[in-house]
Chains A and B, each alone.
Chain A
């Protein structure tokens, strides 16, 4: 039996196909402007990977901010619950999740069964999200995928005082004009994100194993900044961007 999870995020759309609770195919593409179209396309692509059709899929759960538009889903579940289920399956001892997505970031506390106990979200404001890093990467003319490696070379992270993405962008430009190195600026940016995440973690309370998910979990510089700030080691799943879609597929297989 196949089960499909479709996670339509602000920046990327993800699909996870599972069989016997294990991931058998996944696809990640840019969300783009047409959510209905992208949800159909991503579903078709992930099924193509294993050579099956929609009729072979038992149940489908949609999640992410575009979940309402996935008209072929049997059920829609929030990304918070899906991340909790996905992470619990991948890292059984996880108690707290940090998810940094394109449009928002979240801190989620879960119990020993992967149920959500509490959560906080940073929305409205882009600071502390993947979009924030995209803006900064553009301002510094650095490919976003290189931010992590560059920041690890910084030895004196700059202080980023702005709490707004737009102002932080101009602050970065000012820091460049002052002759600060890109390495220290990027390290400073990561530090400022880590500080925001710590504030969110303070609201849900964190204990035990902390798992980082979302596209930015590939950014080693940010991981280090978070680990330094939280004084703990973070666990990163193999496919950190996929935990929401994977969790959605698990929910599809369990109770849909």
Chain B
């Protein structure tokens, strides 16, 4: 979690190891990151990233950690001067994803490993006061709300193929074709989460966001006066609670950003 909390965004991020990983002594392979970038033009941009390392990949958690370190850094470079997301093209975001894959390949090469050993998904949300950009390869989802009185809306639905235990990875040869990008006019809240939470957060039948999951989550982030580190700790504890673990035994990661100016 980043310390440079801005004035216009309240955010939190946390990950928790799934019970199945704990049983088999596998490390948590979900990672997340959240930060606010203060651009030179005075604007602030929220950046949230979630990455889920593949269960089958030897260095999945390193792949996921790499995504969560590099995507915010790339966003920070691109938005240092201006917080105007109109100036950030879809093509530029696509290039970030593909650059990351190249970097991961080099990174893998240095450890004498194959790129696929670092297989991980990538979810990105970038939000200014006026615009939001969501991008993803693989499953997990991004949910947004365009105003605190509005319903939550699925910005990017999990992509993966026919079966529940299948998905696409940033490291796939076909990653370039799998990058999904969507833009919204100024949102008040943006949430990104890994597939471990899909079962609780999404209603597949209607392809919609499950309001009873998101409403209290966002309300807590908005209304809490706890220091950011404490808020992150309580979110991590919630993600590891019996209520959540009864519904999923997978790792889970969650990033929430709320624009306080839009309250």
Question: Do A and B interact with each other, yes or no?
Answer: no
Residue ranges of B at the interface with A (Cβ–Cβ < 8 Å) = none
Residue ranges of A at the interface with B (Cβ–Cβ < 8 Å) = none
